[in-house]
Structure 1
Amino acid sequence: MAATPRPDLVLSHAVVTSDVTGNFDDIDIEAWLKNLPTHEYQRCAPGDHKAAGYTVDDDGTPMSINVEVIGAGLVIQNYRYEVASKHYCKMVSISDVLSPAGWTTTQVIWELGMEQLEGDQLRYVNTVTSHPTEEFLEFITASGQTFEEAAAARQEASGRHCELETPHYAQSIVAYAKAHASA
């Protein structure tokens, strides 16, 4: 079985925003991600987030490692930074998923962005898109589930999870900015 993503199929897609107050120039999502302690990550989605870390892939590409529960699945994400900047990061992972029926994989694209509305009024945009892999499609077929059923379950679980984590991420990013602002 191959962990080849199927970008033509969307397993789930969520865009959730949260408005916060902070100095836009001090915001640095890339630095926040690379320095996110496990306990702060856990506070961003109590009960769902289990562990976070930073590493690099064999080719030197920065990676964020996240372990979380989404719905009934334990998800281990190996996010590679595709875009990394102060106000926008795009992360892509072939994620291992442990469901009640066993292990499989999905592709998860996580986009984190901070927009300046007016003055210190900011809007954090958390976008999570999941695509099945060929392995996932074989996995659900073997378990007697249709893609439509799997997508509906994942959409509900991922949407709920993003609603939980987004305001906490926004507050954490602003707190990190304030703690590391140039004096």
Structure 2
Amino acid sequence: MSVLIRDDLVLSQAVVTADVNAPFEHVDIEQWLKTLPTHEYQRCAPGDHKAAGYTVDDDGTPMSINIEMIGTGLVIQQYRFEVATPHYCKMVSLSDVLTPGGWTTTQVIWELGMEQLQDDQLRYVNTVTSHPTEDFLKFIIASGQTFEDAAAARQQASGEHCKLETPHYARSIANFAKARAAEATA
């Protein structure tokens, strides 16, 4: 089955940062994602994050599976690792969304990056961009919504969600780096 993603339309985009202290050389976002326990994922957005896991796609591409509430939608994300490095990961998902009006799909691009400001002062950058699918556009038309109204609602919900999760992600990644540093000196 082929899904047409409308990357010419932006449903929502959020870029949120959080500063933390951790040894930059021990930051490994790729490994953090691959080993993120469900309960730690839940702590990163209390009430919104439901479950996380790691698997591979049929072609062997690593995948992060995330289930979360964004606004009134239950989102099941199947993120494929498109870029995976210690300081930057780009994840792309064709996500299933259960709304009060039924199921639809969107594409979600999640970018996680850690920048070194000075010494152990770091800045985590959490970027989430969503594009509609043709299925989504048909879904909102059938429910009597315009794209502009759907995008405004998604922008608000996604923006609030990213503001909630970003500082928690930053601390979790920093704690993961500190634990790796402690293991290296043990």
* TM-score, length of structure 2 as denominator length: 0.97
Per-residue CA shift, 1:69-92, capped at 9, x if unaligned?
Answer: 000000000000000000000000
1:154 pairs with 2:154: yes
Superposed CA offset, 1:109-145 (max 9, x none): 0000000001110000000000000000000000000
Aligned to 1:163: 163
The percentage of aligned residue pairs carrying the same residue is 78
After TM superposition, give the deviation of residue 177 of structure 1 in Å. 1.1
CA drift of 1:3 comes to: 3.0
Moved over 3 A (4+): none
Pairwise CA RMSD: 0.9
Cα distance in structure 2, aligned partners of 1:71 and 1:42: 16
Counterpart of 2:91 in structure 1: which amino acid?
Answer: M
CA distance in 1, matches of 2:4, 2:171: 35
Matches within 5 A, 1:9-28: 9-28=9-28
Find the counterpart in structure 2 of residue 51 from structure 1. Answer: 51
Alignment of 1:1-183 (within 5 A): 3-181=3-181, 182-183=184-185
Distance 1:115 1:35 in 2: 21
> Which residue identity is paired with 2:79?
Y
1:178 Cα deviation (Å)? 1.1
Count residues with an aligned counterpart. 183
* Superposed CA offset, 1:45-71 (max 9, x none): 000000000000000000000000000
Q: 1:180 aligns to what SS in structure 2?
A: helix
Q: Partners in 2 of 1:135 and 1:176 — Cα distance? A: 39
